[in-house]
Amino acid sequence: MDFATLLQMLDATLRLATPLLLACLAGLFSERAGIFDIGLEGKMLAAAFLSAAIAAVSGSVWLGLLAGIGASVLLSAVHGLASITFRGNQLISGVAINFLAAGLTVVIAQSWFAQGGRTPQLTGDARFNPIDLPFAEALRDVPIFGPIYYELISGHTILVYVALLMVPLTWWILFRTRFGLRLRAVGENPAAVDTAGVSVIWLRFAAVGICGILCGIAGAYLATALQAGFVKDMSAGRGFIALAALIFAKWRPWYALYACLLFGFLQAMSLRSDVIENVIGFQVNGQFLDVLPYILTVVILAGFVGKAIPPRAGGEPYVKER
Amino acid sequence: MDVMPKWADVILIPLISILLAAILSALVILAIGENPWEALKLMVDGALGSTYGWGYTLYYATNFIFTGLAVSIAFHARLFNIGGEGQALIGGLGVAIICLFIPWPHWSLALLGAAIGAAIFGAAWAAIPAFLQAKRGSHIVITTIMFNFIAAAVLNYFLIGALKAPGMEPATAKFPEATHLPSFQDMFNFGETTFFRGAPANITFFVALAACVALWALIWKTRLGYEIRSFGHSESAAKYAGISPTKIIMVAMLISGALAGMMAINNVQGEAERLVLNAVEGAGFIGIAVALMGRSHPFGVLLAALLFGFLYQGGAELALWTSIPRELIIVIQALVILFTGALDNMVRMPLERLFLSMRRAKNGRTV
């Protein structure tokens, strides 16, 4: 494999890792606050549809992004209502949200656009277009660094950079602010937070809301940046890979970045099986690369490589003593 | 003391939840510019208006009984088996191997063999997540989700590799004639009038009914069932009573996986008579809705499975005759899961308050 191919692969890795990373950080906020969320997939899908639909109708991708975030936050509100207010089962709520999104997106898309459950192709300003970082063109011919800067670092859509910036931001919010401390505490020992006079309900709703916003950006990225329009079931299990990455990263932001890059790289490899064959000399089943994230997560969960310990109060509704 | 009488818990709450789901579904149909009443009439007519419709309704219901029972038995041990989809896929693999490579003399023996094979394959697929839950404490929901994806890949691997029949399609060869199960059309053929013509319902429906009875007996009439239920109610109390958590988790999940796997004798051996990609078509997930609605009771599961069989067949008819896409059924399924599962307390809390005030009023009069 030559240098140019490697850069292409890494470039694809970054593009494919972005939605995983956004969804993974979304799950991080929610689960750190003690709310399990297996509805990441559904929220991404709903956001992907509504962002593409609004972008197609209005011609503005920014309106689309806003609408996508709105759709995702709405589903988050349902999840919050079920799992915080009514103290229902968070996992069942997540399953319901996944199906709700899978069904509604197609039903509404068919009703609005009558194109077999997809939105029209997005072009021009209805999509996020790649942005060239300063001096990318000028530095292109510098050996080694030039191509890396031009191919790999520059030339992505703005959401890729947003996702990358979200990693330090998430770390800072969770580990350097009062809100973050309380959010983590509410996921470990909500009774202590309550005793301190801080509202458990409010904190958990805030976490679920942030989760909704990030999932919304992830979904909008799928439909308006990675691809040009919504197609049925386009999230294609990414929400669950993000969930896997979250466990792989043991609920920590920087490790989430590494896990998502790894899983993004696996996805990029399964798209370029010809390259893999050239490098290692035999053919690898693309299916195998696709499910490798899940297998790795099971191995991690089995505790063979370190132990993944979730937030202690995760999945349990908080009942204030009366 | 319970606040509510038992009938309210078992019948009233599910009914209200379904009513809420139905109202929201009607609103969705209204919003996409169709008439909900017309849609319902079309569904009833298409699913229940002919023996052909019934044949499809009962075929789908058979699938959902198996997956619903699978989720139920796990629920009784307070385990959430979300992996019915994968277990049913792998069960299909077992059915295909047994039907293709063993020369069966008669369908009845083939049915027995395939059922055992499907159960073993399904149970094996549930065994690893169960073991990890029991011994390593890794969350069964996460591992079973992962195993759904891995199962799909395994199936894909075999259907484009070792088991693939000649031709373009990733599917096995047609199973031999001797393994074909009698369909309702064969069984209810009385001279001139043929019932269930062309419908896929087959003898597996009666196997599913037997499974309902067997599971009911297991849960409420045996020591193991008692242990599973006690474990589900309180893990610490069960431990104190000398019940091994590892054993209960393993046994409950193995039975669950076996039941989900056995769905394959209906859809793989009974209907398709070969194994194709994505043979399960989401029935594993519908099992969650069915189990929630049926309150994890085998009889409730049976009723809920019939309702979902009706929705599935009715939904197919809707997609055929109106502009309402089939995915509407997924929306209804999601709403049922949401209201009967996650938002259970939303219905329960006001009802409990109502019953409490009614009882107070009554007691006040008698005093």
Average pLDDT over residues A144-155: 79
Average pLDDT over residues A54-67: 94
Contact B59, B309 (CB under 8 A): yes
Q: Which of A100, A107, A301 sits opposite B338 (nearest CB)?
A: A100
Q: How far apart are the first and last CA of chain B?
A: 20
Residues of A with Cβ-Cβ distance to B13 under 8 angstroms: none
| pLDDT score, position A140 | 76
Provide the pLDDT confidence category of residue A25 given band limits of 50, 70 and 90: very high
| pLDDT score, position B366 | 54
Strands B193-194 and B189-190: antiparallel
Kindly report the nearest CA distance between residue B357 and chain A, in angstroms. Answer: 20
pTM, entire model: 0.90
- Put simply, the answer to whether B288 touches A95 (Cβ < 8 Å) is yes
- Put simply, the answer to whether B143 touches A290 (Cβ < 8 Å) is no
Provide the pLDDT confidence category of residue B2 given band limits of 50, 70 and 90: low
B165: domain range?
57-192+204-329
Q: Count CA within 13 A, CB hemisphere, residue B144.
A: 33
Average pLDDT over residues A264-277: 81
- DSSP string over A94-154: HHHHHHHHHHHHHHHHHHHH-SSS-PPPP-GGGSPPPBPPTTTTGGGGSTTHHHIIIIIIS
Architecture of domain A3-129+140-301: Orthogonal Bundle (1.10)
Low-confidence winner among A46-60, B79-93, B310-324 (lowest mean pLDDT):
B310-324
Provide the pLDDT confidence category of residue B184 given band limits of 50, 70 and 90: confident
> CB-based contact (8 Å) between A318 and chain B?
no
Provide the chain A residues 34-73 that lie in CB contact (below 8 A) with chain B: 38
Kindly report the nearest CA distance between residue A320 and chain B, in angstroms. Answer: 16
Provide the pLDDT confidence category of residue B279 given band limits of 50, 70 and 90: confident
> CB-based contact (8 Å) between A308 and chain B?
yes
Nearest CA in chain A to B343: A82
> CB-based contact (8 Å) between A136 and chain B?
no
Whether B254 maps to a domain, the answer reads yes
- Put simply, the answer to whether B329 touches A110 (Cβ < 8 Å) is no
**pLDDT tens profile A214-227:** 999 999 999 999 99
> CB-based contact (8 Å) between A99 and chain B?
yes
| pLDDT score, position B198 | 78
Q: Which of A87, A96, A285 sits opposite B337 (nearest CB)?
A: A96
- Put simply, the answer to whether A91 touches B82 (Cβ < 8 Å) is yes
**pLDDT tens profile B5-55:** 888 888 888 889 889 999 999 999 999 888 999 999 999 998 998 888 999
> CB-based contact (8 Å) between A20 and chain B?
no
Nearest CA in chain A to B336: A96
Whether B346 maps to a domain, the answer reads no
More confident residue, B362 or B98: B98
More confident residue, B349 or A217: A217
Average pLDDT over residues A8-37: 94
> CB-based contact (8 Å) between A106 and chain B?
yes
Residues of A with Cβ-Cβ distance to B347 under 8 angstroms: none
- Residue B119 scores a pLDDT above 80: yes
Provide the pLDDT confidence category of residue A305 given band limits of 50, 70 and 90: low
Q: Which of B132, B293, B318, B331 to mutate to test the interface with A (most CBs of A within 10 A)?
A: B331
| pLDDT score, position B367 | 46
More confident residue, A22 or B135: A22
- Residue A74 scores a pLDDT above 80: yes
Q: Which of B17, B82, B133, B146 to mutate to test the interface with A (most CBs of A within 10 A)?
A: B146
- Put simply, the answer to whether B149 touches A291 (Cβ < 8 Å) is yes
Provide the chain A residues 76-95 that lie in CB contact (below 8 A) with chain B: 78, 81-83, 86-93, 95
Name the nearest CA neighbour of B120 among B155, B159, B93. B93
Average pLDDT over residues B110-116: 94
Q: Which of B141, B146, B345 sits opposite A294 (nearest CB)?
A: B146
Name the nearest CA neighbour of A98 among B342, B319, B345, B156. B342
d(CA A246, CA A261): 12
- Residue B261 scores a pLDDT above 90: yes
The b/e string for A92-131 (b: 16+ C-beta within 10 A; e otherwise) is: bbbbbbbbbbbbbbbbbbbbebeeebbbbebeeebbbeee
Average pLDDT over residues B305-309: 94
Give the bridge partners for B194, in sequence order.
B189
Q: How far apart are the first and last CA of chain A?
A: 66
Contact B72, B294 (CB under 8 A): yes
How many structural domains is chain B composed of? 1
d(CA B151, CA B86): 5
Give the bridge partners for B189, in sequence order.
B194
Q: Which of B30, B141, B349, B351 to mutate to test the interface with A (most CBs of A within 10 A)?
A: B141
d(CA A10, CA A267): 11
Strand, coil or helix: B171 = strand
What string of H, E and C letters represents the secondary structure of B180-208?
CCCEHHHHCEECCEECCCCCCCECHHHHH
- Put simply, the answer to whether B143 touches A301 (Cβ < 8 Å) is yes
Low-confidence winner among A39-43, B20-24, B164-168 (lowest mean pLDDT):
B164-168
**pLDDT tens profile A271-299:** 877 777 777 767 767 778 788 888 888 88
Structure tokens at A135: 């001096």
Q: What are the extents of the domains in chain A?
A: 3-129+140-301
Whether B81 maps to a domain, the answer reads yes
Q: Which of A31, A36, A89, A92 to mutate to test the interface with B (most CBs of B within 10 A)?
A: A92
- Put simply, the answer to whether B82 touches A95 (Cβ < 8 Å) is yes
Average pLDDT over residues A188-203: 92
Nearest CA in chain B to A90: B342
Give the bridge partners for B171, in sequence order.
B276
- Put simply, the answer to whether B331 touches A103 (Cβ < 8 Å) is yes
- Residue B1 scores a pLDDT above 60: no
**pLDDT tens profile B45-89:** 989 988 889 999 999 999 999 999 999 999 999 999 999 999 999
> CB-based contact (8 Å) between A236 and chain B?
no
Kindly report the nearest CA distance between residue B238 and chain A, in angstroms. Answer: 20
Residues of A with Cβ-Cβ distance to B335 under 8 angstroms: 96, 100
Mean pLDDT, chain B, whole residue set: 90
- Put simply, the answer to whether A81 touches B331 (Cβ < 8 Å) is no
d(CA B225, CA A110): 47
Mean pLDDT, chain A, whole residue set: 89
> Which H or E run contains A213?
helix A200-221
- Residue B164 scores a pLDDT above 90: no
Q: Which of A76, A105, A107 to mutate to test the interface with B (most CBs of B within 10 A)?
A: A107
Residues of A with Cβ-Cβ distance to B80 under 8 angstroms: 89, 91-92
Name the nearest CA neighbour of B310 among B56, B21, B23, B65. B56
- Residue A321 scores a pLDDT above 70: no
Which CATH number fits the domain that encloses residue B175? 1.10.3470
